[in-house]
Amino acid sequence: MNRFREEIEEEEIGPEPELKASPKRPKTAEEKMDSNSFISKLFNDGLVSKEAATDALPYLCFLALLGMIYIANSHFAVKNVRRIDKLNKEVKELRWEYKSLKADLMFKSKLTEVAKKVDTLGIKELIEPPKKIIVKSDEY
């Protein structure tokens, strides 16, 4: 907003002195690897001490175990869902087979169909109604 004032202040103060970079010695391979490693920075800079890390190790192992149990449980659940779907398909197919066999049996047990099958054996259908046999009690 007040750009004219900024220009005036810069003229009064003068140019900023240039800073010279101090010469640095080249890093060794270990220092480069050490400085790049997050874990080494974490332990060397003092954010987490080695004692605190070893004290937290059982807790971390417990969390890892819980993670593995969680993953195994999800695999087991997926396997069960697949098995249930497979069994449902099998039940559907068996139900269809049962209904078709039942319909076929009902068709084959009709009087006309039975008569056709036993005709080859020489058995004929009755034309006259069956006779009732009456036995008197004194005759027997």
Give residue 90's pLDDT.
Answer: 98
**In this model, does residue 137 exceed pLDDT 80?**
yes
CA 11 centroid distance within chain:
70
Give residue 81's pLDDT.
Answer: 98
pLDDT for 111-124, tens place per residue? 888 888 888 888 88
Distance CA 59, CA 111 (A): 80
Give residue 119's pLDDT.
Answer: 86
Cβ 115 vs Cβ 125: under 8 Å? yes
Total-model pTM: 0.47
Q: How far is CA 18 from CA 6, 7, 15, 21, in A?
A: 20, 20, 9, 10
pLDDT for 20-78, tens place per residue? 666 666 666 555 554 557 766 666 666 667 787 788 899 999 999 999 999 999 999 99
Distance CA 77, CA 110 (A): 50
Give residue 85's pLDDT.
Answer: 98
**In this model, does residue 128 exceed pLDDT 80?**
yes
